[in-house]
Structure 1
């Protein structure tokens, strides 16, 4: 039993003793109105004690806070793209470092942009890149272990030994230059990973060490966070790829596909069959010799034997119509014993007729 529960029990016991002495009924046990929750109780209420344990350990309030996020699983093609990135990046980094490199995906999750910036382990290098075709930005975060591993392997460090870290100082120009070369390799491979889906270019813009200077989106906006693990024998580190959902919005329809090349609501077999049947459909054409406007009373007064005089001249062109749509202009005449028309002009193109 905690100290606070002991104090509450003691107060309740004192109240009961006062009731026995005075003969008045004791009040019902109510919690102290002035009691303030301690930090442990606040963390328990908000669900921060279970951070890192997944959805199972989250409280109701924390679930409500995170309910506005969109899960990356609603964009199934992203997982295929990142798997492709891992395969391409493994080969590229082997050529880049001349060492045995293994790249793996630790996790793919949705997270608020502000929450991620606050959780970036410092020191780190944050690369801001721009997606030209989508007119938006993304981030690549390289942790300190990966930075020193890349510097060590590129400058000829002895294999089989862990990279030496020198904390508490700013990164040198050489370290920034080598990390920038690494980021350019990652961005090129990311372009190749998106290649089968859409043509896109990821252009490196700047390198930051302070997360506040790497703000590319509103802090409350949702992002897709991909954590990559890069191992180079006894060295290695982590590399985070952050893409806001606003950046992915131009290709959202493509990322919703369950597999590459999926077509929504279309069936090519049915389209081919429908087109073939339409071409074989019989269509009647009417030859319009003349058109007149008559009052309704004159039409009602018509009787068998009455004649309607046409104003068309013998050599005047006539129109061929399909229903109310005029398609051709033709010359009227005879061929052997049959009346015939010869098309002289197309009034409407086939595409216009289909659109109508």
Structure 2
């Protein structure tokens, strides 16, 4: 059996380099950034209610990564919450770093303020630590679900907590994922957590996420729009029926007197022009209805461009 030639080895090496490339050509999702910023505001309030302390939550960055590249960089053990989105039939992850785990536990159990924790311990997490951090993750997922509502009403449910990256394999190794990293500061102590969203999870709403602007629809409140529409429909306009027009010299206009008759080049059967604000709406016939002069439209009203 012959050995592979140098050319074959180079081609195989080039193909492997292409497959393993860390350079990812990803599509920007502007509205996903808006969703994350909105979640930051509501989650800050939720954390203050949970801990009754000064909390600052910030969005640090958003990146596109391959699933195996991100997971291989996690410590073992790690606190990894697996959540599902039934409507989109897929899963995502929330990865909480150890500094934030210890800070949350200290804050909820009455630990002293201040003093940033930099403990990195290669040990399993206790049930108490897991349960307390799970409360924080559930709050965050509820706020993330609310932040998605204006784009796509959806429910996000936490399914389980894993401590080994091997048991949190929710996507293929080469699948592209979007990660959003958030920082939490609690009077000098805190840490970060990362939300990992596989591309397959976001596929049902990708078209909406690529939009650059959705206006105030992000708030989901159409009260102001409905009010404006109602008021506009009730606006009163003045219509003018133009019987006819003649041209007079400036001298004739200056000599106009009370009782003087001006003859228009218009007969009783000639259609007259109906205008609103100087804009012609159509033509009409003039007549009488009971004791009032009336007009009857004979042309379709020109509504202009919408």
User: One fold, TM greater than 0.5?
Assistant: yes
Gapped runs of 5+ residues in structure 2?
1-13, 218-306
Instruction: State the partner residue of 1:190.
Output: 144
**Looking at CA atoms only, which structure, 1 or 2, has the larger radius of gyration?**
1
Q: Does 1:212 align with 2:159?
A: no
Q: Does 1:200 align with 2:154?
A: yes
Q: Does 1:79 align with 2:33?
A: yes
Q: Does 1:70 align with 2:29?
A: no
What is the CA-CA distance between 1:63 and the residue it aligns to? Answer: 11
TM-score (norm 1): 0.53
Q: Which is richer in helix? A: 1
Instruction: Tell me which of the two structures has the higher relative contact order, counting C-alpha pairs closer than 8 angstroms and 6 or more residues apart.
Output: 2
Q: Secondary structure of 1:119's match?
A: coil
Gapped runs of 5+ residues in structure 1?
1-45, 47-60, 264-356
Q: Which moved more, 1:154-163 or 1:197-206?
A: 154-163
TM-score (norm 2): 0.62
What is the CA-CA distance between 1:198 and the residue it aligns to? Answer: 1.1
Q: Does 1:170 align with 2:120?
A: no
- Give, in whole Å, the separation in 2 of the partners of 1:232 and 1:131: 30
- Give, in whole Å, the separation in 2 of the partners of 1:79 and 1:101: 21
Q: Does 1:121 align with 2:84?
A: no
CA contact (8 A) 2:24 2:64 kept: no
Instruction: State the partner residue of 2:66.
Output: 112
Q: Does 1:90 align with 2:55?
A: no
Instruction: State the partner residue of 2:106.
Output: 152
Instruction: State the partner residue of 1:100.
Output: 54
Q: Secondary structure of 1:134's match?
A: coil
| 1:244-281 per-position Cα deviation (integer Å, ceiling 9, x unaligned) | 00000011111121112699xxxxxxxxxxxxxxxxxx
- Give, in whole Å, the separation in 2 of the partners of 1:77 and 1:65: 27
- Give, in whole Å, the separation in 2 of the partners of 1:139 and 1:227: 12
Pair 262,179 (structure 1): closer, same or farther in 2 beyond 3 Å: closer
1:156-305 paired onto structure 2 within 5 Å: 156-163=110-117, 165=119, 167-260=121-214
CA contact (8 A) 1:123 1:143 kept: no
CA contact (8 A) 2:115 2:189 kept: yes
What is the CA-CA distance between 1:146 and the residue it aligns to? Answer: 0.5
- Give, in whole Å, the separation in 2 of the partners of 1:94 and 1:262: 26
- Give, in whole Å, the separation in 2 of the partners of 1:121 and 1:254: 35
Q: 2:96 aligns with which of 139, 142, 156?
A: 142
